[in-house]
Amino acid sequence: MTTQAAASSSAGARPAQLTPGSYAVLAGLFALATLSWVFLAWQPGMEDDGMNMGLTMGMEAPLFLATWVVMMVAMMFPTAAPMVLLFNRVHSQRRERGRAFVPTWVFVAGYLVVWSAFGVVAYAGALLGEEAAGRWMWLMDNAARLGGAVLIAAGLYQLSPLKDMCLTKCRMPLTFIMTSWREGYGGALRMGLEHGKYCLGCCWLLFVILFPLGIMNVAAMALVTVLIFMEKAWRFGTQARFAASAVLIGLGALVLANPDLLPTVL
């Protein structure tokens, strides 16, 4: 199928027109997200003890990455649902017409690969941060202020052209289908990777701020999830984005002035 043909097939694939298959996909996404939230909330004492366990929470790489993937499922599946549903709708139409189709899980797998790769980078950065803090007492003494600087950086990124471009891509699933269509299993995987890339470009610093706030801080994760959903799906998403920028910059400035406002994880 060419890009033009894919666009034609997608023209009627509005999120409001859900098929039984679409309901099944939607239920699966939210079931996985719900189970992930239950798992994260269930972890006994992690949120409190994490303040004394370092940036990696005392986890070895496999456990950290597994926990990271669970976090991504919990936080990103609800916000990625419109794109996943549209992909499913296009291939459901192809299957109904007797044409070759690709299961939706292939697209979702590509999406998760991007966030898993970011988890590897995050873990490596956390290890380097812990090692550096062990060598230079200055980092230990100023860990909270560094966290405040991260909050300010995240707030400034909310206003950046790169954030705006990536967010635009994430908010327009139909345009993504029309311009980024790929055939076959490999094509679906590439589409998932590409969409994940835009989501990562949109949200990566919102996940970085979880390190100074506590990587297993469920309340912080919930607030970030709500913000991402508002930015992508709410009609006032732009206003929410700018409001979040002001809050992050203001909070970061307060922490720079009074580091005791931010408990340190180092």
Residue 227: CA count within 13 A, CB half-sphere: 23
150 and 252 Cβ atoms separated by less than 8 Å: yes
- Tell me the mean pLDDT in the region 48-77: 83
For the segment 94-152, what is each residue's pLDDT rounded down to a tens digit?
Answer: 888 888 889 999 999 999 999 999 999 999 999 998 889 888 888 888 888 999 999 99
The structure tokens 């954030």 sit at 163
**CA distance linking residue 262 with residue 266, whole number of Å:** 12
Our measurement of the distance from residue 52's CA atom to the centroid of its chain's CA atoms, rounded to an integer in Å, reads 26
pLDDT of residue 31: 96
| 179-214: pLDDT as tens digits | 999 999 999 999 999 999 999 999 999 999 998 887
Per-residue pLDDT tens over the stretch 14-34: 444 667 778 899 999 999 999
Closest CA to 158 of 220, 224, 64, 254: 224
